[in-house]
Structure 1
Amino acid sequence: MIDLVQLRGGRVLSQRRFSSKAALLLLLVFVSSIFMTGCTVEQMQQTELDRSGIWGSFVGILSDLMDYVGETLGSYGVAILVVTIIIRFITLPFMIKQMKSMKAMQRLQPEMTKLKEKYKDNQQKLNEETMKLFQKHNVNPLAGCLPLIIQMPILIAFYQSIMYNVHIREASFLFFELGQKDPTYILPILAALTTYLQQKTMTISQDNPQAKALLYLMPAMILFISATLPSALGLYWVYSNIFSIAQNYFMYRDTGVKQEAAK
């Protein structure tokens, strides 16, 4: 698929490549927010959650919700699953918007191919005509990045709600201590594996070396983060990735987007 995005300076990037780089950038932001706050995991676990302000209130709501579900169902591992599903359903409209954007770009594929051939020797004119085409059909090539932007503050808030929640710190699920690192590395490996599979369900073409690199780089980073932080976060990633894999299957199986895009 020739999903094009015009950037300042007239440069054109594929929407897919832009989304992949955005995902990596946001993951790096998440890692930075963890390791550059000056607070270790142990310090956070010994500190009471500050519920002042909008952010503190949001983190507190997530923490209280996990407490309520955990006490009701008798398992904080299941509580993380329930809250993960709730979060994913909240972000589902943005994912649907992303799918519609991909379908819209697919419909414009023939016209975009003609423009590329017509202005193959004039990059600036190609950029201008491509953006006119987007505007004519009311297509936003950056819409695919919105779900990533929405999920990042939720992920950071979820992480903090886990770190500050005394009940989760003391809870266990199966043979995992949710407040501690997983010494067996089962959860980090599962988190990395499901991240890889989730990436594959969204991978349109493996011809691009950068796309190939990101396909393995993202799971590697998830493996490192999950192995470094308490098991509860790795469990969240496993749940979230499984949800994404199922979601992608049902959302894209009948659209033909992947098949057409690979051409």
Structure 2
Amino acid sequence: MNQLFTYKQTILLFLLINIGLLLSGCVSFTTYVVNPFSQVIDSIATIFDGNYGLAIIAITLAVRLILLPLIIKQTRASKVTQEKMKQLKPEIDAITAKYKTDQRPEAQLEMQKEMSAIYAKHGTNPFAMLSGCVPLLLQMPIYIGLYYAIRESSAIATHSFLWFELGQTDIILAIITIILYVLQAKISTLHLDNSQQQMKFILYVTPIMMCFVVFIMPSALVLYWAVGVLFLIAQTIFLKRLS
């Protein structure tokens, strides 16, 4: 087991333990999540002469840089999986055609067994690409902490950054964020062929979901997403050139 895999597993375990403690009521959510997060924002804002907007940007970049090794590993693994799935497509299509007219539960179960046998034979897992959701899950405590820090701290909520207040919604920032997410999805799907239409759809799910979120969330959280997706765009371009 390499060190990077251990690192990922350790973070996930730490996250699950803490979520369990919070949900069980053994620890105070405000004491162990909101207050420390508010203190971190205050401390970083002090470096920028009390500018909470720059503090949020700094936190965003720090989180993205910490997650970067994990994302690079998952991107490479996902690419390998995609290449293997292309090679296996004729065999998978043959199995699908074999059971196309037989919709009995036992026949469909047999079809799944044959597909699983092929995946096992070639050492691949079609669900491995879903591991790209891990970085999103790891950021959930930050979303929650930032949201409640704004609610608990009037200094953060009333702070003006650029043209908006961090504690208020802003239509312009929301639209910019959606455009950035669409752009990121477009860049990510540039080299996907027609056989990967499902992957294209998945990549466009995030912009669609963001449309229902960014217009009702405080601008501080939307700023976090906007800076994060800008980093993601640069990261995607870098990784494509690297490969």
TM-score w.r.t. the length of structure 2 is 0.69
| Alignment partner, residue 61 of structure 1 | 36
Deviations 1:60-119 (A, max 9, x none): 332211111111112111111000111112222331232122132144245423532553
- Pick one of 141, 144, 164 that aligns with 1:176: 164
Matches of residues 112-131 of structure 1 in structure 2 within 5 Å?
112-117=88-93, 119-120=95-96, 121=98, 123-131=111-119
Matches of residues 102-251 of structure 1 in structure 2 within 5 Å?
102-109=78-85, 111-117=87-93, 119-120=95-96, 121=98, 123-133=111-121, 136=123, 141=128, 142-182=130-170, 185-203=171-189, 204=192, 208=197, 211-212=200-201, 215=204, 218-251=206-239
Aligned length: 200
Deviations 1:169-209 (A, max 9, x none): 12111221112222xx2101111111111222323357748
Name whichever structure is richer in helix by fraction.
Answer: 2
- Report the residue type matching 1:72 in the other structure: I
* Sequence identity (%): 33
Higher relative contact order (CA 8 A, sep 6+): 1
| Alignment partner, residue 61 of structure 2 | 85
Task: Report which of the two structures shows the higher radius of gyration computed on alpha carbons.
Answer: 2
Residues 81 and 124 in structure 2, CA contact (< 8 A), matched pair in contact too: no
- Report the residue type matching 1:58 in the other structure: V
Matches of residues 4-23 of structure 1 in structure 2 within 5 Å?
none
The whole-number CA distance in structure 1 between the counterparts of 2:152 and 2:198 is 41
CA 223–140 in structure 1, closer or farther in 2 if over 3 Å, else same: closer
TM-score w.r.t. the length of structure 1 is 0.64
Deviations 1:202-241 (A, max 9, x none): 23357748955972x6434424422222221121111111
The whole-number CA distance in structure 1 between the counterparts of 2:30 and 2:66 is 18
